[in-house]
Structure 1
Amino acid sequence: MQTMYLRKKIAPRVENGHPWIFANEIDTARSTTATTPEAGDIVEVRNAQDKFVGYGYINPKSQILVRLLSRNQKDVIDEAFFHRRIAEAWAYRQHIGYTENCRLIFGEADEMPALIIDKFNDYFVLQTLAYGMEVWKPAIVKALNSIFSPKGIYERNDVPVRELEGLPQIKGFLSEPFDTNIIINENGLKFHIDILNGQKTGYFLDQQDNRRAIQHIVKGADVLEAFCYTGTFSVHAGHYGAKSVLGLDISENAVAQARRNAELNGLQNICQFQAVNAFDALKQWTKDGRQYDVVILDPPAFTKSRENIQKAITGYKEINLRGMKLVKPGGFLVTASCTNLVQPDLFLQIIDMAAKNARKKLRQVTYQTQASDHPIVWGMENTEYLKFLIVEVK
């Protein structure tokens, strides 16, 4: 195993527990040996004082040169290691009450950088987003089979970030083939999931707790949901007693599935959906003077790069300003952001700016993050990505 040495002056991020080590943080002269490590190799990392830092996998083609898997010098990175890590993650989810559907592995938060595993009933969907995790994919699948005896495992590695690691975009079965259209239960409701073609791993589990948070404010309300995707918030609103619900999404396929989800729960007369550009609709309906008791905004990430962060800020400000104007005085705005680069403080500042421009007074009802099966680790900003806010608008 090759040893990589850190430079004397590095970001305290690494010493404080963050698993990412960038190429410019490595003392290349001290780390150079006759054998050049290949992508996916396990390396030992030591600091400038020759103190053990951890074991991780390396990829010379990636900006993140090493991602640490363990800081325990006694660990051996083998099949048993991955089995143990997945078993520990499952024990944690069981302990906090997430068993039927959950994010089983949340990358760095579960000390498994660049690995995502979602559990839907007895089916599992995984993403190996870095070369090192791709190498261990057979061991990961073996561990899932051993621990869960699942009905099926599918990989959704059709994501561009893999190309930065020198990996192709692929998706397919990692078990015997199965029907990838399944139904899950969430908060007493049923939802169709399209594992094969749905966004990410097929369903957004991170909002499952937040969907319950709207139950009191939607009773007897006329509700508008923009960027509704497959209608999960809309269907929850109907279930919790909304008088009417209108969901908007630009995707015809998403709207079709939203209608199926409403029908699955007997709410097709309450929940209606339209395939339109939500940005355009919010802008036009504000001019038209439309009003709703509750407006829900749950847009996709506006940017994944720091270069476009200002565009994301402008986008969030615009939709929230228009959302506030569509809320009746004394009504509620439900708004979320999953853009990792927009940190919580900045998100709340954007909402405040929108309120000032809209000349609205806000009263916070609740502020939450992602569901607890997506754990937040202090010191790792990328693990706290979802912001969810309910405010009264006056």
Structure 2
Amino acid sequence: MTQNRSELRFRPNKSPQRIRHGFPWAYDNEVVTDRRTKKIALGTIVDLLDNDRNFVAQAAFHPDSKIAARVLERDRDVQIDAKWLESKLRFARDHRDRMFDTPFYRLIHAEADGLPGLIIDRFGDVLAVQPNAAWIENLLPDLQEALKAVFDAPVIIKNASGRARGLEGLSEETVVLDGSVDGPIPVQMNGATYMADVLGGQKTGLFYDQRPNHAFAAKLAKGGDVLDVFSHVGGFSLAALAGGATHATAVDGSAAALELASKGAAATGFDDRFDTIKGDAFEVMTKLADEGRSFDVVVCDPPAFAPAKPALQAGLRAYEKVARMGAALVRPGGYLVLCSCSHAADLSTFRQASLRGVGKGGRTGQIVYTGFAGEDHPVHPQLAETAYLKSIFLRLV
């Protein structure tokens, strides 16, 4: 039975064909926005209609965003509720459980898993939920019910930090919705133990997306030493030690993140081969170069320098600088690993900026591998933003 929902129509000169072919968004300049639509509450699920009032999709509406509607469901008669969310969660879990032997992974990757604006990372029995869109914030009780149906007695945390919630007009408040958490959670990946602070750490507490790139870097680091710049909780350095690196140094501006990295190293038995440097990454790299230090593998995994198009050019200059400074610290025959999680910088532009930086640093080499996010971060076929992570591995002469 057709439900009584508010309607949002495409403009007479705009076609919904892209959405019918799978694109997940309708922009504000494609739909009719008038006094009536302005009264529709933020995050309301509406019927998106074409010019002839034919149904296109159920979509989450945002009256003040350039992305006016995010597609949720292409069947008009389906009820978007706890049961609907449960089916999405089960579908996503089935894929992850095929890929991983341990219960540590990204469970929901927003649009790519059919739940726009929602991120869920799984840490065993603990599920860290980031409801970054108003529609899923509105359905949070249904999401809790769905998670309890899919997982046995889960601990559910609502992580409300980050830029995305601010853009949606949502508050920032991290709370435990179900169960309790006593402290950082040990997470086993690539032979190492990482400590994830799911309550006070960056994002949900750990970055699962770099898992395959950590593993590849570990192969390069076997028998050598590693400098892990912008290390967070020791992502690349701990994996490298597990893979046979002789020593690793983690550099980060956060004392809390470095403390977690040290705890992870101790938990895995690497503390005698691991040390940390707290400070601004650029200042630390300058100081190390001035001291004549060099390493077999240098990894630079900075935060997003170009999170949106207006920041692209400044971001590319920053990536170029990172590449130039990182290259100066690599021994001849060693490896430089450069990463970007910027949505606005695609692989080609990021690679060009990085190679320009390596060249300006007086180094040459070869690209031996290009890495992306792991298989728990699927890519929406028509949304380039879901393929945000790029990693370039170079061997330098």
- Residue 98 of structure 1 and its aligned partner are, at CA, apart by 6.3
**Aligned to 2:210, what secondary structure does the other structure show?**
helix
Distance 2:212 2:36 in 1: 50
Q: Which residue of 1 aligns with 2:196?
A: 193
Question: Is the counterpart of residue 4 in structure 1 residue 8 in structure 2?
Answer: yes
2:108–2:120: 8 Å Cα contact kept in structure 1?
Answer: yes
Question: Is the counterpart of residue 142 in structure 1 residue 129 in structure 2?
Answer: no
Counterpart of 1:25 (choices 7, 30, 33) is 30
Bigger CA drift: 368-377 or 38-47?
Answer: 38-47
Counterpart of 2:276 (choices 263, 273, 277) is 273
- Residue 230 of structure 1 and its aligned partner are, at CA, apart by 1.1
Distance 1:152 1:146 in 2: 13
AA paired with 2:6? Q
- Residues 189 and 150 of structure 1: CA distance in aligned 2, closer, same or farther (over 3 Å): farther
Q: Which residue of 2 aligns with 1:297?
A: 300
AA paired with 1:219? K
**Aligned to 1:212, what secondary structure does the other structure show?**
helix
Distance 2:47 2:64 in 1: 18
Question: Is the counterpart of residue 242 in structure 1 residue 238 in structure 2?
Answer: no
- Structure-2-length-normalised TM-score: 0.93
Distance 1:288 1:190 in 2: 32
Counterpart of 1:209 (choices 212, 217, 230) is 212
Q: Which 5+ residue runs of structure 2 have no aligned equivalent? A: none
- Structure-1-length-normalised TM-score: 0.94
Bigger CA drift: 47-56 or 129-138?
Answer: 47-56
Counterpart of 1:327 (choices 302, 307, 330) is 330
Distance 1:266 1:90 in 2: 32
Q: Which residue of 2 aligns with 1:159?
A: 162
1:128–1:134: 8 Å Cα contact kept in structure 2?
Answer: yes
Question: Is the counterpart of residue 62 in structure 1 residue 39 in structure 2?
Answer: no
**Aligned to 1:301, what secondary structure does the other structure show?**
coil
Distance 1:34 1:123 in 2: 39
What do residues 116-141 of structure 1 show as CA deviations (whole Å, max 9, x unaligned)?
A: 11101111000111111111111111
Q: Which 5+ residue runs of structure 1 have no aligned equivalent? A: none
- Residues 188 and 150 of structure 1: CA distance in aligned 2, closer, same or farther (over 3 Å): farther
Bigger CA drift: 212-221 or 58-67?
Answer: 58-67
**Aligned to 2:143, what secondary structure does the other structure show?**
helix
Q: How does 1:1-394 map to 2 (within 5 A)?
A: 1-7=5-11, 8-9=13-14, 14-28=19-33, 36-97=39-100, 100-394=103-397
- Residue 224 of structure 1 and its aligned partner are, at CA, apart by 1.0
AA paired with 1:87? R
**Aligned to 1:269, what secondary structure does the other structure show?**
helix
Distance 1:198 1:348 in 2: 29
- Residues 180 and 59 of structure 1: CA distance in aligned 2, closer, same or farther (over 3 Å): farther
- Residues 319 and 33 of structure 1: CA distance in aligned 2, closer, same or farther (over 3 Å): closer
Distance 1:33 1:285 in 2: 61
- Residues 290 and 107 of structure 1: CA distance in aligned 2, closer, same or farther (over 3 Å): same
Distance 2:153 2:313 in 1: 44
Task: Say what the alpha-carbon RMSD is for the aligned residues.
Answer: 2.0
Distance 2:243 2:180 in 1: 37
**% identical aligned pairs:** 30
Bigger CA drift: 160-169 or 360-369?
Answer: 160-169
Distance 2:165 2:68 in 1: 14
- Residue 99 of structure 1 and its aligned partner are, at CA, apart by 5.0
- Residues 157 and 279 of structure 1: CA distance in aligned 2, closer, same or farther (over 3 Å): same
Q: How many residues align?
A: 392
- Residue 251 of structure 1 and its aligned partner are, at CA, apart by 1.2
